[in-house]
Amino acid sequence: MTNRQAAIDIVRRLQREGHQALLAGGCVRDMLLGRRPKDYDVATDARPEVVTAIFPRTLEVGAKFGVVIVLDRKTQVEVATFRSETGYGDGRHPDEVTFTTAAADASRRDFTINGMFYDPVAEQVLDYVAGQVDLERRILRTIGDPQERFGEDYLRMLRAVRFATELDFPIEGETFAAIGKNAERITRISGERIAGELETMLTHPNRRAAAGMLFDSGLARAIFPDLPAAQREGAVEVLGRLRKRVDFPLALAAFFTGCDPESVETQCCLLKPSRNQTRHLAFLLTHRRRLLDHEMSLASLKKLLAQPYFWDLYELERASQKAFGEKEALTALARLRRRVHELRGVDVKPKPLLNGHDLIRLGAAPGPQVGQLAEELYIAQLEGDLHTKTQAEQWAQDWLTRHHTAD
Ligand code: ATP
Ligand code: MG
């Protein structure tokens, strides 16, 4: 059973029990737009304890706020009691919720296009917030006074940019102006939640628009205080030229095109990236422009190719060169691509022909000398100068002789 079917069944059941029950929020918006909703949420006038009594398997994760998860065999549906929220002393969480009517529940939601209900039994849209008009005009607008609404929950500012990006809607003027006024307060929201929204918008194919809005609203500067204002053009242009599907670190590296790697890493700490994301981003930042080096040795190329993020580095370089129209750099990249092509089928990370024990047996002093010899030997192997263990031994012996003489 799909989440959609399960949600509709829940609505029917609640209605049979005499309650008002509707599909709510994002799924209604997406259905009206002809997009496939991510999931279907139910809103009802039944209190959480009534919902849990009706359905055999439920999770009361947010019962205090009126939210119950109804479990079906394979899927789960969020069933929320109509509520209004008050307080928001901290700009993040409501201090209190009170159970209320559908109309009042609509008005606590963030944007008009997210504030509608749909009754799948009567096949009727219930729109208390003029969401349909805005959907038709393709515009993102807060429900009520934007200044007030963003003041209640600063995350809504990033949600605005995220929805505008995903739907390719502009943000209505007053709504956008209010984001500008409150942008600095975005850091009162946790780094993880900021990162979640940024990741969604910057990995979306419409990420170019997202970057423009982040800069123009002041959110980019508020989140990354050391970001130079002049960064806008580079970020927008490079992001706009990346391939359709990208991981967050690649998008971030494009966003920070041309910035000092250390400062980028420091600024991105706020986003609490995972260890892999950090490594991925650091790789892209530190190896920038290396692919344009005509003189790159075969060994260096193989070492880069052996890295898991090589093709992201290539993609970042390709997008930047395209953005800035540097013909020479594009030629350099084309040459690099040919070199990589020629290496098809070649093991770019072969096992070293000799290990540390072998080298010590040949007379290398344990410690730094073995390390240095092993590294140089491996480079010679990657360069294609050595193919067999015997050749490697000969090479190592010559190296040791040279180094003994030098001592
Ligand atoms: P998506 O398709 O990305 O899931 P969505 O509209 O379903 O988008 P959710 O974050 O799943 O967004 O939230 C569901 C609904 O809850 C929203 O459509 C909106 O009505 C309401 N909502 C969610 N977050 C907020 C918020 N921070 N402030 C006000 N209303 C919110
Ligand atoms: Mg949703």
Tokens standing for residue 239? 């992001």
CA of residue 153 to ligand 1 center, whole Å: 12
pLDDT digits (tens, 9 = 90+) for 187-197: 999 999 999 99
Residue nearest to atom 22 of ligand 1 (CA): 109
According to the model, what pLDDT value does residue 25 have? 98
pLDDT digits (tens, 9 = 90+) for 2-57: 999 999 999 999 999 999 999 999 999 999 999 999 999 999 999 999 999 999 99
Q: How far apart are CA 358 and CA 354, in angstroms?
A: 6
Residue nearest to atom 12 of ligand 1 (CA): 26
Q: How far apart are CA 138 and CA 178, in angstroms?
A: 19
User: Averaged over 144-157, what is the pLDDT?
Assistant: 97
The β-bridge partners of 23 are 42, 118
- pLDDT at residue 405 greater than cutoff 70: no
pLDDT digits (tens, 9 = 90+) for 46-71: 999 999 999 999 998 887 889 999 99
Q: How far apart are CA 33 and CA 113, in angstroms?
A: 10
Which atom of ligand 1 lies nearest, measured to the CA of 166? 3
Ligand 1 pocket residue status of 38, Cβ below 6 Å? yes
The answer to whether the CB of 213 falls within 8 A of the CB of 171 is yes
The answer to whether the CB of 24 falls within 8 A of the CB of 44 is no
According to the model, what pLDDT value does residue 283 have? 96
Per DSSP, the three-state class of 334 is helix
The answer to whether the CB of 229 falls within 8 A of the CB of 221 is yes
Ligand 1 pocket residue status of 302, Cβ below 6 Å? no
Query: Model confidence at 407, in pLDDT bands (50, 70, 90)?
Result: low
Amino acid identity of 318? R
- pLDDT at residue 292 greater than cutoff 60: yes
Residue nearest to atom 30 of ligand 1 (CA): 109
User: In sequence order, what DSSP letters do the residues of 16-52 get, joined into one string?
Assistant: HTT--EEEETHHHHHHHHTPPPS--EEEESS-HHHHH
CA of residue 368 to ligand 1 center, whole Å: 58
Nearest-ligand number for the alpha carbon of 36: 1
CA of residue 184 to ligand 2 center, whole Å: 26
Ligand 1 pocket residue status of 201, Cβ below 6 Å? no
User: In sequence order, what DSSP letters do the residues of 143-185 get, joined into one string?
Assistant: SS-HHHHHHH-THHHHHHHHHHHHHT-PBPHHHHHHHHHHGGG
Query: Model confidence at 98, in pLDDT bands (50, 70, 90)?
Result: very high
pLDDT digits (tens, 9 = 90+) for 166-177: 999 999 999 999
Q: How far apart are CA 362 and CA 394, in angstroms?
A: 10
Ligand 1 pocket residue status of 105, Cβ below 6 Å? no
Which atom of ligand 1 lies nearest, measured to the CA of 37? 2
Cα dist. 173→111, 166, 170, 268, 355 in Å? Answer: 14, 18, 9, 30, 66
Ligand 1 pocket residue status of 35, Cβ below 6 Å? no
Domains recognised in the chain with CATH numbers: 1-133 (3.30.460.10), 138-269 (1.10.3090.10), 287-342 (no CATH), 356-406 (no CATH)
Model pTM? 0.92
